[in-house]
Structure 1
Amino acid sequence: MAVDEYRTDDEQLDALRRWWSENGKSLAVAVVTAVALSFGWQTWQASEEQNLAQASDIYQALLRNISIGAPADESSKYADELINDYAETTYAQFAAFHLAAIAVGMDKLPEAERQLRWVLKHAAKGSDSAQLAELRLARVLGASGQTEKSLAILQGGADGHFAAAYAAAEGDVLLTAGRNDEARLAYQKAMALGGIEGSASSSVSQKLQSLMPAAVLNDVPVAVETVDETENQPGQGE
């Protein structure tokens, strides 16, 4: 048996007093710190909720401007505010997507690349936002003539419903680069993966048919499903 088991109440009390004398101050500090941290956590959480609500309001203003066809600079001011002041929110990521789209429309591909790389820096790895940013970045790089960098992204693969879109984009980049045989294989992969719909189906099918030898055209489906590359609204995939 341990000696402690033979201690009398007085001995145990004395031991407790000595322990408190030696450790009481640090314990008290720890308790105060724990209480402060608990209060701090609640305060931080409330602040984060308020921060998110403010970001949501700005994002809704951005969407309203887009829906009414407001000038790009008016929409951009809301996007810039989200990126500069609410960088850690999903709303900021979608604001960067918006600015990248404006840049592409104005043929400012380096600026589009900058915005998409910003999204990749802030989005969770493997999230829908990250995969969409990679997909669009690859297209921007391909359009800029940076074929190998674009293919390195696309051939890295994507999970789930983005896989077919990556393959279709790979086909587009290869076709632009004049690598028709490789482009045909990429389009065939996109068709095999499925999960696509809308006008992209006709686009992929037409491109594939244009690359197929005439003898096998009759075996090519007219329509294939395509992945929707539209931006996810905040809260999806994050």
Structure 2
Amino acid sequence: MATNLDLQEQEQLDELKAFWNQWGNLITWTLTLVLAGFAAWNGWNWWQGQQGAKAALMFDELDRAVQAGEPDKAAKVFADMKERYAGALVTQQAGLLTARTQFEKGQVDAAVTSLSWVADKGNEEHAALARLHLASVHLDKKAYDEALKQLDGVKSPEFEALSQDRRGDVLKAQGKTAEAVTAWRAAWDKLDETAEYRRIVEAKLTSAGAAPAAAASGAKP
């Protein structure tokens, strides 16, 4: 019976790992953009109050290009927004949206350029989002030191769990399993117990032989 249970657990773990390998970057893009929603909404209200209809039309035009999957058009509008309204929060959000559609259409270098601008010019929250995505891109390119450098720049507490999770991925890719476990455990500790994303982090810990449940039970007298 114990053997059957072990096999079932292994099958579940294999399924989670396969799911992460296929959808991990997409989940990160989606989750971080959702988490940025509140800050973006505040920025949008501020922008409407300060700058008026022209800026709203520019952002709407960019959003339509993103929805249509037209990265070149989105990049052109983003360039205009940077030139005219570089200090606006909505321009930072435009940079993230532009990078997303560039990345989805295979324009990785262009996405890096858009993200780098937000990372350098954005407020704490938007810069954190940009650096998380840059770390993912550099991880895919096996540019591990650059990925870690981007993660070091994530200062927003709201994104610390995601930053630690991605740091664990980078460290694991470098063959530093013990350090990766430390980072994943920090991410797992910071994520809400009801968060589905926590299961993915837990699967990574389990695959490294450091399942959180086992660690917790081992700590009891």
* 8 A contact 2:135–2:151 mirrored in 1: yes
Find the partner of 1:181 among 168, 178, 181: 178
User: Is 1:101 the equivalent of 2:100?
Assistant: yes
**CA 1:141 to 1:81, structure 2 compared with 1: closer, same or farther past 3 Å?**
same
Deviation at 1:166, TM superposition (A): 0.9
Deviation at 1:72, TM superposition (A): 3.6
Cα distance in 2 between the residues matched to 1:199 and 1:218:
16
**CA 1:198 to 1:58, structure 2 compared with 1: closer, same or farther past 3 Å?**
farther
Deviations 1:162-213 (A, max 9, x none): 1111101101222233332222211101011224865422221211211115
* Residue of structure 2 equivalent to 1:80: 79
- Say which SS state the counterpart of residue 155 (structure 2) adopts: coil
TM-score for both structures, normalised by structure 1: 0.59
Q: Which has the higher helix share?
A: 2
Deviations 1:82-114 (A, max 9, x none): 233322222211121122223322444332222
**CA 1:57 to 1:131, structure 2 compared with 1: closer, same or farther past 3 Å?**
same
* Residue of structure 1 equivalent to 2:111: 112
Cα distance in 1 between the residues matched to 2:85 and 2:136:
27
* Residue of structure 2 equivalent to 1:34: none
* 8 A contact 1:52–1:89 mirrored in 2: no
Percent sequence identity over aligned pairs: 24
**CA 1:130 to 1:217, structure 2 compared with 1: closer, same or farther past 3 Å?**
closer
Deviation at 1:217, TM superposition (A): 6.8
TM-score for both structures, normalised by structure 2: 0.63
* Residue of structure 1 equivalent to 2:205: 208
The root-mean-square deviation of aligned C-alpha atoms, in Å, is: 3.0
Deviations 1:98-133 (A, max 9, x none): 222233224443322221221133223xx2112222
Find the partner of 1:128 among 117, 125, 128: 125
1:110 aligned partner, one-letter code: D
Cα distance in 2 between the residues matched to 1:173 and 1:80:
32
Cα distance in 1 between the residues matched to 2:137 and 2:194:
23
In structure 2, stretches of 5+ residues that fail to align are: 1-47, 217-221
Larger Rg computed on CA atoms: 1
In structure 1, stretches of 5+ residues that fail to align are: 1-47, 222-238
Q: Report the count of equivalent residues.
A: 169
* Residue of structure 1 equivalent to 2:166: 169
* 8 A contact 1:161–1:195 mirrored in 2: no
